[in-house]
Structure 1
């Protein structure tokens, strides 16, 4: 349902999806609370999260196990995604095949909940200063064919890059299996306290992707995937990384205030 509009430059956008995380339960029409479950299992990839006071808190807890230790080491993750698509058990077909040796270990019913083709997308969230953690919102191709697999990284923030009044915010595109996309990614230094709420946004249009933070343009990429994409919203903990000198108790929390998706008017 369209509930509002926004204009950026010469392009007009209509609000298409919105989650303010005001309910007691996760919106199951928008989010799947697992991380790439085809390569592991729904149980091992299950997100841990808390809803309350109008926020989503994606959590890494002390007893949480690695999501796919055979192929991704000790990485722990809590992730929400807006689609899942994979081949049959034992196949090499599936979204974001992060390791050449992985095969589908648990069959998944196809679910494409929100997979736009161009638009404006916004996340209001707080990052973590934990040097072992990273938070992110990224988009991946639905991979109805293997070439439809590029990534648009709206934002990613490693805790090691967070200082009281400065942070490096990653943004850009990665090709993965898309031969039409060149890798163009940058961790942009910004004067902000990433531990407080900020709005990270991207305008994805034919031939370009424009990135902004708190309404201020930050980066433009003059190339863009041209197929439906889904969203990945997550917090990672890299257990093999140095913990730093300061204590960082559990749970490790990525606090999200809102997510919005706008569709462009008249853009095909």
Structure 2
């Protein structure tokens, strides 16, 4: 009697990896969820699949509830698009408009809003308690530049070694700095100890938008001054060239000969 058919163990090693059913093959056979990319664009014209809509005219006037065929015909007659503006309403609200112009105007508004939006940026400046006067003036200049630009500035005093036992050095330095830049900013967060550091936050007097406007005005003023300087230099160079040309012309003219005794004698007299 023939026994059950058994596959030798060696046969399993002869099977190619691509022929073995694995997790990837099972995932490929699994049904994919329906749907895909969800469009955020409103439905327009023939894509509106409802029996009737609440129609709004091009100027915002209320037309009323009409059948979708009538709304599409009105859109075709007026050479406009039928745009579904409130799909969740019952019935949905559709408006007659120029959809291409509508998208362009919305894109322009979004671009302008992104251009005009202001992001609060916190700059950081680190100092040592025993900083020398030259480095202090340099860092103070950076702080003033940040505040004039409408940004907040986080001032950090770093203590090392035995300096940690004298926090009054950092406190006095921060007080001095806040007094020096009082024209451009104010103390938003008073000095406080944070481990080995002491931190103070300065806020600008002007908002970011105002700082941008002032920077643009200052940039235009500098450009005007630079152009005026270039014009003055060009005028001075032109005058110098004109003077040099006049001098060269004067040197090129023949000199008048001096009259001598022989010039006063009668030419008919024979000598």
Band the TM-score falls in, shorter-chain normalisation: under 0.3
User: Structure 1 length as normaliser, TM-score?
Assistant: 0.21
Task: Please say which structure displays the higher CA radius of gyration.
Answer: 2
Higher relative CO (Cα under 8 Å, sequence separation at least 6) belongs to 1
Structure with the higher fraction of residues in helix conformation: 2
